[in-house]
Amino acid sequence: MAEATDEARTVILTVDDDPAVSRAVARDLRRRYGEDYRVVRAESGAAALEALRVLKLRGTPVAVILADYRMPQMNGIEFLEAALDLFPAARRILLTAYADTNAAIDAINVVDLDHYLLKPWEPPEEKLYPVVDDLLETWRAGAARAVDVTKVVGHRWSARSSRIREFLARNQVPYRWYSSEEPEGRRLLAAAGQDGLRLPLVVTPDGTALVEPAERDLADHVGLSTTPEADFYDLVVVGGGPAGLAAAVYGASEGLRTVLVEREATGGQAGQSSRIENYLGFPDGVSGAQLTDRARRQATKFGAELLTACTVTGLDVKGAARVLRFSDGSAVSAHTVILATGVSYRQLDVPGAAGLTGRGVYYGSALTEAAACQGQEVHIVGGANSAGQAAMFLSRTARKVTLLVRAPKLATSMSYYLLQRVQDAPTITVLTDTVVEAAHGKEHLEGLTLRNRVTGSSETVDAQWMYVFIGAAPLTDWLDGTVLRDPRGFVLTGPDLTTDGRPPAGWPLDRPPYHLETNVPGVFAAGDVRAESAKRVASAVGEGAMAVMLAHRYLEQS
């Protein structure tokens, strides 16, 4: 087995099946290089390869490999050839006896051998160290330094790979993307013992390899919190969009024990926006990711607990407690709850679209895919602000952006300032009265059938990238039987619950519901999930703050 030492330093690896020789090589190397390099030794080719796989997954660089020629099962040349696949930049030395000199010379061509050393190498100051010094200098001059981030190996048209990248990006987890078809991607797959049929492969900074991970499992491995620290809180906020983050900031800053529970990633739809330009206090605009990151850091600064990849499946009323049930069977209780789950993009219900989701068809900005659109034509479905913002963002690098709008004109659904920019952009074409009838492609999107709603004529156009913004719907089915909603699923609050000034049936208190309070006392709704809300970032933030004020009022009177 290979020895384990400090992981932070670049590795020099030595392998020899003779324990005495193995220890001697490692001893001499540590004497000279031990302060700056980690020396790892192994006593078989198989053990050394396993050590290299672990180092590869951990992102630990390997500078020099020394291997004995005469080893059973796998000789030194065979080992170095296999090691070349994992660490092609590592310098390679073959340790050999005089009788095997010809084999060492042949190995120069077989495994691109850098040097061979005759045993014994005494004194090392004359025969070992000068050789290793030169090879280390060569390695330092040309080797790419490893980055201590999560690595994702996937395929360009893999829907699951796209989803994992989006999950990491939206949760502010640094990662590096490798195609399964590029050399480094293949090396990582080999190190994890994978053939590339199951993607994505995610390698965490500690070297853990996850194949096709679920979001919750991935969250646990990359340092995101998924389990509440306590069983009972003053306030539970469900949803991490602008309304939820504002509620978490104000709740925690005012002394409430606050936990925010998010199903996917904080920011909501606003967090996916490439540019928000009409938000108060940001005259030059701000990206959704920047705004989300600031709000998240602000919430944690005040002591709010943020949970990710937690799906709430039910709400129960048990006396003064409001109990939220999670999909994994666990639960958390609180005095008050703020529902800020926002809305999710509606799916494009046309033939072919569902099977191509994540493989050319995307909902929301999907900014992680934007770089791949450079120099290509992009189709955007929708005519509201989110579609316009995406069009402006993608037009910076795309060859052409075609905006497909169902309505006869944009002015009915898009803010004036954004409408002017879209119309002035030379690479944006707007097709009004146009709908998508079908999406075509096998491995990925290849074409779209478009129909003009006025003339009825249809045409099929080439397309590899389509972003869809066709409205949104609330995900509130889990509130069935507890919280009242309108026919579209939006949560009813305050005045919308009353009839002729009378509270809703079953309301237990003498007072009517507060403005943002639902039919369940102590349960409030804020932001896009609330019926008749303004559906703007600023109003969502304001409602999140106001909901906390009303929660305080409820607690004071309880």
* 299: in domain: yes
DSSP single-letter state for residue 530: B
The 10 Å Cβ neighbour count of residue 454 is 10
Give me the chain's average pLDDT, please: 90
Co-location of 457 and 490 in the same domain: no
- Inside any domain, residue 417: yes
Cβ-contact 470, 381 below 8 angstroms: yes
* Tens-digit pLDDT profile for residues 19-60: 999 999 999 999 999 999 999 999 999 999 999 999 999 889
- Which of the 8 DSSP states describes residue 307? E
150 class by beta-carbon count within 10 Å (0-12 exposed, 13-18 middle, 19+ buried) = buried
pLDDT of residue 367: 64
> Does residue 176 share a domain with residue 124?
no
Does residue 338 sit in the same domain as residue 478? yes
Stated as kind and residue range, the H or E segment containing 40 is strand 38-42
Q: At a CB cut-off of 8 Å and minimum separation 6, what does 392 contact? A: 274, 275, 418, 421, 422, 425, 428
The pTM of the full predicted model, rounded to 2 decimals, is 0.78
Dist. CA 488–CA 485, nearest whole Å: 8
CA 442 remoteness from chain centre: 26
Q: Provide the domain limits for residue 302.
A: 232-343+474-557
Asked whether residue 4 is domain-assigned, the answer is no
Burial bucket for residue 141 (CB in 10 Å: 0-12, 13-18, 19+)? exposed
For the stretch 400-410, pLDDT in tens is 999 999 999 98
252 contacts: CB under 8 Å, gap ≥ 6:
258, 299, 302, 303, 304
Tell me whether residue 1 is in a domain. no
Look at residue 237 and give its three-state secondary structure.
Answer: strand
Flag whether 6 is in a domain: no
Q: What whole-number distance in Å separates Cα of residue 345 and Cα of residue 365?
A: 11
Judged against a pLDDT cut of 80, whether residue 103 lies above it is answered with no
- pLDDT of residue 378 exceeding 70, the answer is yes
Domain containing residue 71: CATH number:
3.40.50.2300
- Would 378 be classed as within a structural domain? yes
Domain boundary among 106, 125, 142: 142
Q: Specify whether the CB–CB gap between 448 and 463 falls below 8 A.
A: yes
Domain boundary among the residues 172, 200, 221 is at 221
pLDDT tens digits, 302-322: 999 999 999 999 999 999 999
| Inside any domain, residue 348 | no
Q: Domain containing 463 — which CATH number?
A: 3.50.50.60
- In the prediction, which pLDDT does 380 show? 96
Q: Residue 248 in contact with residue 237, Cβ under 8 Å?
A: yes
| Residue whose token pair is 């090396």 | 187
pLDDT digits (tens, 9 = 90+) for 139-183: 887 765 555 689 999 998 888 999 999 899 888 888 999 999 999
464 shares its domain with 400: yes
Please indicate, yes or no, whether residues 24 and 66 belong to a single structural domain of this protein.
yes
DSSP, res 114: -
Sign of the CA dihedral with 505 first, then 507, 508, and 509 last: negative
**Res. 281 pLDDT band, cuts 50 70 90:** confident
Task: Give the domain CATH number at 183.
Answer: 3.40.30.10
Whether residue 166 sits in one domain with residue 18: no
3 found inside a domain? no
Q: Does position 7 have pLDDT exceeding 60, yes or no?
A: no
Identify whether residues 19 and 137 lie together within a single domain: yes
Whether the Cβ atoms of residue 313 and residue 212 lie closer than 8 Å to each other:
no
> What residues does 237 pair with on adjacent strands?
260, 338
- End position of a domain, from candidates 447, 470, 493: 470
Query: Given a cut of 70, is residue 61 above it in pLDDT?
Result: yes
Spatial distance between the Cα atoms of 318 and 523, rounded to a whole number of angstroms: 13
Question: In this predicted structure, what is the pLDDT of residue 26?
Answer: 93
Identify whether residues 21 and 136 lie together within a single domain.
yes
Q: Which residues contact 391 (CB under 8 A, 6 or more apart)?
A: 380, 401, 403, 422, 425, 428
Q: How many domains does the chain have?
A: 4
Q: Show Cβ contacts of residue 440 under 8 Å, excluding neighbours closer than 6 positions.
A: 352, 446, 447, 448, 449, 460
Contact criterion met (CB below 8 Å) for 186 and 162: no
pLDDT category at 256 given cuts 50, 70, 90 is: very high
Query: How much of the chain exceeds pLDDT 90, in percent?
Result: 68
Query: Are 361 and 454 part of one and the same domain?
Result: yes
CA distance 535 to 540: 7
Is residue 117 within 8 Å of 131, Cβ to Cβ?
yes
- DSSP state, 229? S
Give yes or no: residues 278 and 339 share one domain. Answer: yes
Task: Count Cβ neighbours within 10 Å for each residue of 275-294 and write b for 16 or more, e otherwise.
Answer: bbbebeeeeeebbbbebbee
Which of 272-276, 331-335, 396-400 has the lowest average pLDDT? 272-276
Rounded Cα distance, 329 and 324, in Å: 10
**What is the reported pLDDT for 354?**
95
Query: What is the rounded distance in angstroms from the CA atom of residue 238 to the CA atom of residue 251?
Result: 13
Per 3-state DSSP, what percentage of the chain is helix, strand, and coil (rounded to 5)?
35, 25, 40
Sheet holding 150-154, edge to edge: 175-179, 150-154, 201-203, 209-211
Closest CA to 165 of 148, 274, 216, 154: 154
Examine the pLDDT at 287 and tell me if it is beyond 90: no
* pLDDT at residue 4, as a whole number: 40
User: Given this model, what pLDDT does residue 30 score?
Assistant: 94
What letter would DSSP give residue 519?
Answer: S
**Same structural domain, 337 and 406:** no
Calpha distance 226→218 (Å, rounded): 10
What per-residue string of b and e applies to 220-239 under the rule 16 or more CB within 10 Å gives b?
A: bbbebbbebeeeebbbbbbb
- Is the CB of residue 14 less than 8 Å from the CB of residue 22? yes
Query: For residues 488 and 474, is the Cβ–Cβ distance under 8 A?
Result: yes
Rounded-to-integer distance, Cα 199 and Cα 356, Å: 16
480/436 same-domain check:
no
Q: What is the pLDDT of residue 3?
A: 45
